[in-house]
Structure 1
Amino acid sequence: MICLSCARHLTQKQDGIGFRFRVRYAPDPSGGAFLMTFNNGLAILILMFASTLFAGNHVAARLAFDDGAGLIVALLARSLMACLIMFSLARVNRISFRIPASLRWRQWFLGFLIAGQSFALYSAVARVPVAVALLLVNTWPVYYIVLGWLTGREVFRLPLAMMMALILIGLTLVLNLPQMISETMVLDDQWWIGIGFGLLSAMLLCTAMWQTNMHLAELPGSVRSFYTMLIVFVSMLGLGLTGILPGSFTLPESTAGFWAIGALALLYGIASTVLFVLAPRLNMSRNSPVLNFEPVASLGLGFLFLQQFLQPLQLVGGGLVVIGIVAIGLLK
């Protein structure tokens, strides 16, 4: 979080990319200074960076699960790390942790939304192929933009809708969904339950981002995110203690598994900090589809750390996603 004593306008051009970065400053809700806000070029790069960190978190989580780590262990580790980072940000900037009475129920609601989204995501992964679960969850930006259109906060624009469709087509190819479906000949009840959990996860994440952007933007980002992650931590701890999920507290079997737990916690903590703290300044109603870069990044990281190989059709899909991302950033 960067605070300045006066408002300024800066323009910078990044060599080799062509985005023009215009940096503006807006009043800080925590107390009269100014916070940096970003135009679309810089916002897109920030969202792609966060997406790559989230992808790294998933790769590290897979390594930890392969080493015997339980689901709740991973969720507790990453939410605790995020809590510590948010708390440190607020303390360093001397921001009050007090939340206005009128917003407290919304903060609780946001925390439970993120907790439910995390549970739904892993419930989907447990029942359907990971590629299908990721595709379903990564449709949340589409719901977000459509919600903006339906509520009248954003004007419907056909070019943006076409780019959203292109991104979804690209994700279908990147995640190899046609082959996944063709290899799953019998669609039993567990399949449909998994699909339901995947859609629920996407809808909960969309609602959480809408809640943040529309109703909690006036709260300091670090404080808002601290309470959100704290609620997630307590919720997951309580869920694990109920015994509903057997083996949820199982620790990794080797040192490599513990390193993976540490990595997923650190990567998730940094990524969630970037996303939730800066969300009100990233024009999410327009740029949220950029977060669909996460599965593309996960394929690259999976190749490096999990020896997962890319097929030509997946590379084509990745290209479509990148084209859609760049096009959304260039649309006026």
Structure 2
Amino acid sequence: MSTHVAASHPTHFPRQLAILILVLVACGFAGNHVAARLAFENGTGLLLAILCRSGVALLILIAIVLWQGRTIRLPAGSGKWQVLLGLLITIQSLCLYSAVARIPVALALLTANSFPIILALLTWGLGGARPTLKAAALMLFILSGLVLALDVPAVLAMDGDLGGNWWQGIGFALGAATSFSAALWITDYKLSALPGAVRSMFSMVVVFGCMIIAGFAKLVPGGMALPSTAAGWTGLGALVVLYGAAFSVLFISVPRLNMARNASVMNVEPIVTLLFAWVVLGQMISPVQMAGGLVVISGIVILSLRKSA
């Protein structure tokens, strides 16, 4: 029975339904990041937030693997790559939440979403295809939008008044983009034969284990601190629920979503984040930064559509 189900190709949802599901998933992930900022502003430790999030994701993935009847035996020689993938996802999670804690949430996500550029350059540097002139032009287009979104000229002009948090936040967001790009490269070139749910489950095992070790070793000051206010508990609970819901819906539905055609819909996440951050946190960005954000998102959408065409 399970063999027959695995062998058959699932019927795709109607495109309107697939797009609606992906928009809802993007809203869930966006809400998770805003909830994380709310939790951090009210005393929640960075490691605790990632521990709770990864724990829920791990339980969901274990259930999916059992439901699908997958074997959890890793192919020969893939163990080291799976561990490295988990470590990279750990770094990406730490960097992204560290960025969210320091700079406006939407700007953190926009910066982290520059990963397609880094992935293209990484693939080329490791012997893959060189980016075409059109792809290179799109990358420059995305970078120009990022310069506007971050309002780099104004930032440089008021460097002394910004404080260290701004530069740290941007650095962490770029670190998240870089580690995620490396994780995608490993997924595509070293672990592509492994079922997605199994690969992700092992990655979450590594993330969860790293958070426990880092917490006991007190590697991050206050990393396991409990929320100090009711708002902090609300933020922590919301980030776990929203991430878990979005994660599970995406993983369960992905075979029927025709991702090759519809994945670009997920790029609405920074826009939704901007709205949620304004409503929940009162964070605002200037019209120039909004325009830059639209340039970044447009460039990423075009780049992803070119790859899936």
How would you bin the TM-score normalised by the shorter chain?
A: 0.7 to 0.9
In 2, distance between residues paired with 1:34 and 1:122? 37
Structure 1 counterpart of 2:75, one-letter code: P
In 1, distance between residues paired with 2:22 and 2:156? 30
Residue in 2 that maps onto 1:147: 122
In 2, distance between residues paired with 1:46 and 1:162? 31
Residue in 1 that maps onto 2:230: 255
Of 235, 239, 256, the match for 1:264: 239
Structure 1 counterpart of 2:41, one-letter code: D
In 2, distance between residues paired with 1:304 and 1:320? 23
**1:222 and 1:277 in contact (8 A); partners too:** no
Correspondence list, 1:26-175, <5 A: 32-34=7-9, 50-123=25-98, 134=109, 136-151=111-126, 153-154=128-129, 156-175=131-150
Of 312, 316, 319, the match for 2:294: 319
Q: How big is the shift at 1:134?
A: 4.6
**1:141 and 1:288 in contact (8 A); partners too:** no
CA 111–325 in structure 1, closer or farther in 2 if over 3 Å, else same: closer
How many residues matched?
302
Structure 1 counterpart of 2:68, one-letter code: N
Q: Which runs of 5+ in 1 are unaligned?
A: 7-27
Q: How big is the shift at 1:81?
A: 1.0
Residue in 2 that maps onto 1:221: 196
In 1, distance between residues paired with 2:221 and 2:161? 27
In 1, distance between residues paired with 2:162 and 2:282? 29
In structure 1, the residue corresponding to 2:77 is in which secondary structure? helix
Residue in 1 that maps onto 2:281: 306
In structure 1, the residue corresponding to 2:188 is in which secondary structure? helix
In 2, distance between residues paired with 1:58 and 1:270? 14
**2:115 and 2:178 in contact (8 A); partners too:** yes
Deviations 1:172-193 (A, max 9, x none): 3334444334332279988777
Instruction: Name whichever of 97-106 and 79-88 sits farther off.
Output: 97-106
Deviations 1:191-247 (A, max 9, x none): 777665544332211111111122222222111111111110110111011123222
Deviations 1:28-54 (A, max 9, x none): 5xxx4435789x999998876655433
CA 72–156 in structure 1, closer or farther in 2 if over 3 Å, else same: closer
Q: Which runs of 5+ in 2 are unaligned?
A: none
In 1, distance between residues paired with 2:170 and 2:294? 26
CA 277–118 in structure 1, closer or farther in 2 if over 3 Å, else same: farther
CA 199–256 in structure 1, closer or farther in 2 if over 3 Å, else same: closer
**1:167 and 1:292 in contact (8 A); partners too:** no
Of Structure 1 and Structure 2, the greater strand share is in 1
**1:120 and 1:201 in contact (8 A); partners too:** yes
CA 4–171 in structure 1, closer or farther in 2 if over 3 Å, else same: farther
**1:221 and 1:278 in contact (8 A); partners too:** no
In 2, distance between residues paired with 1:142 and 1:49? 26
TM-score, L = length of structure 1: 0.73
CA 156–72 in structure 1, closer or farther in 2 if over 3 Å, else same: closer
In 2, distance between residues paired with 1:123 and 1:93? 35
Structure 1 counterpart of 2:93, one-letter code: S
Identity of aligned pairs, percent? Answer: 40
RMSD over aligned Cα, in angstroms?
Answer: 3.9
Deviations 1:243-265 (A, max 9, x none): 23222222113333223212212
Residue in 1 that maps onto 2:154: 179
Instruction: Name whichever of 288-297 and 229-238 sits farther off.
Output: 288-297
TM-score, L = length of structure 2: 0.78
Q: Which has the higher contact order (CA 8 A, sep 6+)?
A: 2
